[in-house]
A and B are shown apart, each in its own frame.
Chain A
Amino acid sequence: MFARFVLKRVGAAVLLVFGIVVVTFALTALLPGDPAAAQLGDRASGDPAIVEAYRKAHGLDQPLWTQFVLYLVHLVQGDLGTSLQSRNPVLSDLAQFGPASFELAVTATAIAVIVGVGLGILAALRANGPLDHTLRVVSLGGVSIPIFWLSLIAVFLFSTQLRLFPSSGRLNPGETPPNHITGLYVLDSVITANWATLGSSVAHLILPALVLAAPMVGLLLRFTRSSMLEVIGNDYVRSANAKGLPAGLVVRRHILRGALVPVITVLGSAFASLLAGTVLVEQIFAWPGIGSYAYRSASNLDLPAIVGVTLFVAIVFILVNFLVDILYGLIDPRIRTS
């Protein structure tokens, strides 16, 4: 039963990825602008021999259909092409930048879940009280403050003024990264017992992760609160309270469990906005992740990199949705059996 469910999901995912490749490739190719012109300098672009050599070297001299078919053939073989900007295979670029974004996104999500869900529970338990009203403002602020503005303020306050956290990069200037195991500096530092790098990598991670987590905190806070309030009104919760069960137990076992399904749904969508937010946050904090790579690729009409990043993000989305589906089943047995 479960295997069939997984197979159906994988099949749908493959079709979805194919659709994304077609749409991204077509849209990028239809954009006004010439990748060769974007890469070549003022003088070089005026020399037909250089332009021709560039087009030939990057397959841009082929008709669009041929380029697309070649791309698909290479894609099936796991080759995403070569970036016009970095001149590296796109796959190796993604392998280089992906872990940085993953580390940032996972940390931001963890912060958002702990803070957002925690505050949401508090708001629900103290509904319509002063704390709830205060948290409503916090939530509104989280979802409505533009992330670039928050980033700049965070840099100014915590880095320039208070000097609590560094403002850019993943490590201090010139510091050697930990031995590459996962590409996640914090984890790699722990695994290799490199405590100096651990301190540096955590310090660099905190500020961008907090900024990135802010909108998600606001969203989760609101959804947890409203979902909790819905469940709190149910008969079985009243019964649990009437039986004299400890308040903590009622919240964890009876309220939270029922309230978490919609929260997880929101978490999935929030992860989407978080990935979009990384472009701005990574730019401002000079975080060498997929967001920075995407920005550079888009502004330079780097077609293979644009399609590569889009595919990467799409696959992450599909995986996250898949995980959300599995989590539904784990949290609510009714979904699993149906």
Chain B
Amino acid sequence: MKRFSRGSALLGGLLGAALLLSACSSAGTPASTSSAGGTLVIDKSFDLKTADPARNFETTGNILGRALYDTLVTFANGDSSTPIPMVATKWAGNSDATEYTFTLRDDITFPSGNKLTADDVVFSLERVANIKGNGSFLMAGLTASAIDPTTVLIKSEAPNTAIPAIMTSPTLGILDSKTVIANGGSDAVGADTADTAETYLNKTSAGSGPYELSTFDTTTETVITANPDYWGNKPKYDKVVLRNSTAETQNSDITSGTAQVALDLGSDQIASLSGNSSVIVSTTSSPTLFFLFSNANPAVSATTSNPKFREAVTYGLDYSGLLELAGNGAVRAAGVVPDSFLGALKADQAIARDVTRAKAAVATLGGTPTVSLEYPSDISSNGLDFGPIAERIQANLAEVGITVNLTPSPVATALANYRAGTEQMGLWLWNPDFPDPSDYLVFGPGATVGLRAGWAAGSAPDIESIASKAAVTVDDATRATLYQEFQTKLNEAGVFNPLFQPAASVVSSSSVGKVLFSPAFGLDIAAIGQ
């Protein structure tokens, strides 16, 4: 028995040592400080793939890109309606919005010592176009050229008033062209195979932004440090750790002080923080649109392609109930264009539930229409899962006599059906690629999302005519009217049913202060604490 006692003592000793070590590692205390010049820890559920701006088109990458690279113009203070100067001090478009001239600052120097010139801008934009990546569509129909070292001309094949808004995208971040070329970069046609600079850019940033890349890891954490020679307002924090963590972990981290900013907390978690004076919750409506569609292609479904069925769905949905389900801070989507963008419909222009009308429409169909509703079951956005929303839709439509069979599947599978246009009904979301209503013309007949709902070109000439006009109109007031008309007609057609824009909440520790969500790039790290 003596030896057993020794074994127990050894075990006890080991456990004691482990607890002591854990205590020494300050596990329960914040590992970072939030004072000026200190370290800031930001928790985010990663979708990070690359630190190369031209190859990035993910939300985490946008946050990182905004910190590492300057763009011609940008947005500030959570606004996404009015671009403000960044590398470009001023810009002007011609009368038909086919040419935009940007005048650049002449006092920006990259960490390599190279001066930022128009050649760097042209290289960066053309590289995005020719790399054939997720963000290449931003440069579709556009060409950039250097007029002189501080002037860039961007030409568009068709009138395009969205160019300044497009130029805010972190994908179009400006690279130190000489450094990137020396490390395998290319902006020429064929860059999709010739450009090998991603490996370099995943180790060393080549931008003039407020931060520089310190360590890059797509799975655990990415660390950035302040650029000592940044030309603009110096960021408050010297070091920022962007950590990959689930919403549950973020909740724990922000409560314990391990992280100072949490970006993915759901409405229930945020509600549980009420009364906690150590955190500040900043909630705005996100520009993300949750929408439902009924396939207009008779080959996919004779039922959903029937306008009477779509009428029944449109007036059978309980939009208020769905909004409640989306949680505090969410807003009703009156149309497809988010409420903060030009041309958005006003709340009172939204379709209201009319059960009698919906039932009357169902009656004309004969029998009980039965359809399937597909949605991705393994992803969430702004803390919202698709499952409960789909179930509520099923219940709403059952009330008006429509049987909806739910067909959830993993996003990788569901995406294939959605993009192939074979779903009878689909529940999806749309995030803006750039903050301009023209990004929502994709919902029209024959356009990208329209085709996914089986809405072929020529199906609704009146809507297509308005869309064509809106795309080339330059005057903002006229544009706003056209986009409102476009959306009103979309709502009447009922192929798409805009549901709501979820809340976008940023939770920060009180020592950091209020942190604003940016609809354009998620978060402006350099602005935190300013």
Contact = CB atoms under 8 A, between A and B. Distances in A.
Interface of A: 31-34, 37-38, 40-47, 49-50, 53-54, 57, 85-87, 97, 114, 118, 152, 155-156, 159-160, 162-170, 172-175, 196, 198-204, 206, 246-248, 283-286, 288, 292-293, 296, 299-301
Interface in B110-133: 132-133
B50 A284 contact: no
B166 to A, nearest CB: 12
18 contacts: A31-B413, A34-B415, A37-B416, A38-B415, A42-B430, A85-B218, A118-B11, A152-B248, A155-B252, A160-B255, A163-B28, A163-B256, A169-B243, A174-B223, A203-B27, A286-B246, A288-B219, A288-B220
A206 B223 CA distance: 25
A173 B246 contact: no
Contacts of B233: none
A199 B243 CA distance: 20
A286 to B, nearest CB: 5
A41 B417 CA distance: 15
Contact of A44 (B3, B4, B134, B256): B134
Contacts of A299: 378, 410-412
Given A114-B11, A160-B255, A172 B26 contact: yes
Contacts of A248: 1-4
B308 interface: no
Which of B193, B219, B253 has the largest count of A CB atoms less than 10 A from its CB? B219
Contacts, number: 185
A173 B39 contact: yes
Interface residues of B, number: 68
A119 to B, nearest CB: 12
Interface in B404-429: 409-413, 415-417, 419
B21 A87 contact: no
Interface string B385-418: 0000000000000000000000001111101110
Given A164-B22, A169-B220, A174-B32, A45 B248 contact: no
Contacts of B28: 159, 162-166
In the A-B complex, the 5 residue pairs with the smallest Cβ-Cβ separation, listed nearest first, are: A163-B28, A203-B22, A172-B31, A199-B25, A200-B25
A286 B249 contact: yes
Contacts of B258: 166-168, 173
Given A53-B192, A248-B4, A283-B246, A159 B256 contact: yes
Contacts of B267: none
Nearest to A246: B1
A42 B259 CA distance: 32
A93 B472 CA distance: 47
Contacts of B416: 32-34, 37
B32 A173 contact: yes
B392 to A, nearest CB: 25
Interface in B183-208: 192-193, 198
Contacts of A200: 25, 27
A87 B198 contact: yes
A301 B220 contact: no
B448 interface: yes
A44 B133 CA distance: 7
